């Protein structure tokens, strides 16, 4: 088990995956040592921001040396809980559900996809990357008997709250929600949303409002 | 053309799609009038936050009446630039690219998908929802002749920066980037990222650090 951290702000937590990404890139380029200044240039954070962020977790740099990239990457992985395996299921096996099932980063980072579920008889019985699609009616029992931590909701929005209720009842700890709806769940359930249309509408807003500067 | 707004903070802008979503839900339930207090209960923003947010765009409520849902929804749509049509292409036609192409919200909100591109000969020539997949080598010319505003990058990360460079050269205004990389583009190019693994890692972090409370 990794060390646990408390009372860290969500703003800091949301920056951690970015550290993970950049440190991985450095390792891929065989860079094993980096100063906080170089790291800050790459990432677009100030050096003091980086030091502050990492101090929340104990701080890893050494005055005059900078950061050992491999060591820091390993620590960030542990902090992010990526040294642990999580039982995962996908609910909704249409295009998006299948795309997520095919998403290699799931398996690679310990999100162990064990089943997909759907209501469509044409999909039930199929396999995506060797993972079976089952009837949604079998979900509760499957989760009960397979130690599932995470449910990924890829259903149309009108079914998402009902599925979330069932996932909560089946004792999953976290929901990765792709349906364009804010789920209502008990406080102890982790919900992380990917609201694609919210993201898309930021583009149309900016497209529509940046043009002004060309015309003024 | 919609009215243009300047100097609005990204925090406010990022809340706008949520207003859009909740107002649409109200309309679907045939609720045509709502107080800022009721809206705040639904959305989890304070009533004063809502008034402040909307005041950036002129303010739409009426003392003692609240908001006319239909009118406010129409205004938010215009503010988000959803009354305009955008020429859109997808680069990378694997699972994720196809899932996005099948994503009905694109077409519904004016993101007019005209082509997908790929390097895989097995995919080139196929159609997704009647939209053709072309050879990536035809991208530049296609964008030049079809008034494309938005390029959606669904390629593996090692190709994403090169594709972004080509999109910039072909004069797209915005990139919706699904590759797990921070693209380097000129300042006037809009980049909106959907970093799926960043989102996923927030779940593993929280799973790993919430458990503590049960054990302490």
Is the same domain home to A173 and A190? yes
Claim to verify: residue A95 and residue A138 sit in the same structural domain: yes
> Which of B18, B202, B209 lies closest to A14 in CB terms?
B202
Q: Using CB atoms, which residue from B6, B94, B192 is nearest to A203?
A: B192
The answer to whether B104 faces chain A, any CB pair under 8 Å, is no
Chain A positions in Cβ-Cβ contact with residue B183 (cut-off 8 Å): none
What is the per-residue pLDDT across B10-23, written as a single tens digit (0 to 9) for each? 999 999 999 999 99
A58: tokens are 């104990």
The verdict on residue B132 lying in a domain is yes
Position B214 scores a pLDDT of 43
DSSP string, chain A: ------S--HHHHHHHHHHHHHHHHHHHTT--EE-HHHHHHHHTS-HHHHHHHHHTTT---BTTTBEEHHHHHHHHHHHTTTTS-EEEEEE--SHHHHHHHT-HHHHHTTEEEEEEEES-TTTTT-EETTEEEEEGGGHHHHHHHHT--EEEE-S-HHHHHHHHHHHHHTT-SEEEE-SSS-----TTSEEEE--HHHHHHHHHHHHHHHHHHHH-
Length reported for chain A: 216
One domain, residues B75 and B91? no
Pairing of strands A33-34, A67-68: antiparallel
The series of mean pLDDT values per 10 residues for chain A, 216 residues long, is 74 94 95 92 91 85 84 94 96 94 88 97 95 97 96 96 97 96 96 95 92 43
pLDDT tens per residue across span B97-140: 999 999 878 889 999 999 999 999 999 999 999 999 999 999 99
DSSP symbol at B137: G
Quote the number of domains for chain A: 2
**Is 70 exceeded by the pLDDT of residue B76?**
yes
- Note down the domain range covering A163: 86-198
Same structural domain, A98 and A183: yes
Question: Both B117 and B159 in a single domain?
Answer: yes
Point out the residue among B13, B188, B197 whose CB comes nearest to the CB of A205.
Answer: B13
Domain assignment present for B93 = yes
Instruction: Answer whether residue B212 is part of any domain.
Output: no
pLDDT for the residue B1: 47
Looking at the domain assignment, is residue A215 inside a domain? Answer: no
**Over the stretch B143-155, which tens digit does the pLDDT of each residue have?**
999 999 999 999 9
Mutation site, B205, B212, B215, interface A, largest A CB count within 10 A: B205
Q: What is the pLDDT of residue B211?
A: 52
Residue A204 within a domain: no
| B173 and B108 part of one domain | yes
Evaluate if residue B216 carries a pLDDT over 50: no
pLDDT of residue A158: 93
Specify whether B186 is located in the same domain as B95: yes
Nearest CA in chain B to A197: B105
What are the tens digits of pLDDT across the range B169-185? Answer: 999 999 999 999 999 99
- Residue B213 located in a structural domain: no
Q: Which residue of chain B is at minimal alpha-carbon distance from A7? A: B209
Pair (A67, A90) in one structural domain: no
Least confident of A78-82, B19-23, B26-30, B48-52: B48-52
Same-domain pairing of A34 and A91: no
Q: Which of B56, B79, B102 is the last residue of a domain?
A: B79
Judgement on whether residues B149 and B90 belong to the same structural domain of the protein: yes
Same domain, B43 and B22: yes
pLDDT at B69 over 90: yes
Does residue B208 fall inside a structural domain? no
Whether ipTM tops 0.85, in short, is yes
The pLDDT assigned to B3 comes to 62
Indicate which CATH number applies to the domain containing A142: 3.40.50.720
Cα nearest neighbour of A100 on chain B:
B96
Is residue B210 a part of any domain in this protein?
A: no
What confidence score (pLDDT) does residue B213 get?
45
């Amino acid at each position: 088990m990794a060390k646990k951290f408390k009372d860290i702000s969500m703003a800091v937590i949301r920056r951690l995956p970015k550290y993970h990404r950049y440190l991985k890139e450095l390792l891929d380029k065989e860079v094993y040592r980096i100063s906080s200044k170089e790291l800050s240039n790459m990432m677009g954070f100030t050096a003091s921001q980086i030091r502050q962020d990492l101090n929340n977790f104990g701080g890893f740099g050494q005055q005059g040396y900078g950061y050992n990239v491999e060591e820091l990457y390993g620590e960030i992985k542990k902090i992010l809980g990526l040294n642990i395996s999580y039982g995962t299921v996908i609910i909704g096996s249409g295009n998006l559900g299948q795309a997520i099932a095919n998403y290699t980063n799931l398996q690679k980072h310990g999100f162990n996809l064990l089943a997909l579920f759907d209501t469509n008889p044409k999909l039930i019985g199929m396999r995506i990357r060797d993972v079976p699609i089952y009837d949604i009616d079998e979900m509760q029992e499957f989760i009960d008997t397979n130690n599932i931590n995470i449910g990924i909701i890829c259903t149309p929005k009108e079914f998402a709250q009902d599925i979330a209720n069932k996932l909560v009842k089946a004792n999953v700890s976290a929901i990765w929600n792709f349906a364009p709806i804010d789920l209502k769940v008990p406080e102890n359930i982790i919900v992380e949303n990917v609201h694609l249309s919210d993201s898309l509408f930021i583009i149309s807003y900016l497209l529509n409002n940046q043009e002004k500067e060309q015309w003024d």
